[in-house]
A and B are shown apart, each in its own frame.
Chain A
Amino acid sequence: DIQMTQSPSTLSASVGDRVTITCRASQSISVWLAWYQQKPGKVPKLLIYKASSLESGVPSRFSGSGSGTEFTLTISSLQPDDSATYYCQHYNSLFGQGTKLEIK
């Protein structure tokens, strides 16, 4: 079974910073990766699908890249509303452990 490893587990950054979260698969998953944002008490929200496609309505400061085994989620200019936990997921399979993003 393919394992997903996400890092870092926590991240603290300031408004305006560029932030990167990494997700690694234990074997190649091509581009079958999604990124989600979850705020407390809410359903996870899709940000990125097929590794790099921006979901409709998601701000353009979010971007995804990668293929095979290594993937990144980048927030180009951090905003206060971006405080949340972020998860990667191999389609129809396991999630990464999550990255809790805190705004300084």
Chain B
Amino acid sequence: QVQLQESGPGLVKPSETLSLTCTVSGGSISNYYWSWIRQPPGKGLEWIGYVYSSGSTNYNPSLKSRVSISVDTSKNQFSLKLSYVTAADTAVYYCARDPGVWGQGTLVTVSS
């Protein structure tokens, strides 16, 4: 059974770049779409974007100017970079494969 695990810093300073990696285990990363989703405290789910195993991407228009998602098939990993973060980017960040395969989530706090 495929499992996902997010990793990366839990604290990022304002204006810096948030970087997270999702490691896929129990299956191949090939031939699937892999997404990043976030949830600010007390708020709803927000889709950030996806990368296909070939490397093609699609992003939420509201974040598009600051987001980059990439895939490393040799490591069975995909990654998120979100630049110029502010306190509004504080959230639990999930990696996921549709439908219904999600990591446990990791809280990223933006604070100096």
Listed in ascending order, the chain A residues whose CB lies under 8 Å from chain B are 1, 34, 36, 38, 43-46, 49-50, 55, 85, 87, 89, 91-95, 97-98
Q: Interface segment, B13-21, B22-30, B74-82, B100-108? A: B100-108
Bound-complex Cα distance A93 to B61 (A): 11
**Chain B residues within 8 Å of chain A by Cβ, number:** 19
B60 touches A94 (CB 8 A): yes
Of A36, A46, A92, the contact of B50 (CB 8 Å cutoff): A92
B75-112 to A contact mask, C-beta < 8 Å, 1/0: 00000000000000000001000111011110000000
Of B35, B61, B105, the contact of A43 (CB 8 Å cutoff): B105
Bound-complex Cα distance A76 to B39 (A): 29
Listed in ascending order, the chain B residues whose CB lies under 8 Å from chain A are 33, 35, 37, 44-47, 50, 58, 60-61, 94, 98-100, 102-105
A93-B47 contact given A43-B94, A46-B99, A49-B100, CB 8 Å threshold: yes
Q: Would you list 25 pairs from A and B whose C-beta atoms are within 8 A, ordered by A residue? A: A1-B61, A34-B99, A36-B45, A36-B100, A43-B102, A43-B103, A43-B104, A43-B105, A44-B45, A49-B100, A89-B45, A89-B47, A91-B33, A91-B98, A91-B99, A92-B35, A92-B50, A92-B58, A92-B98, A93-B47, A93-B58, A95-B44, A95-B45, A95-B47, A97-B44
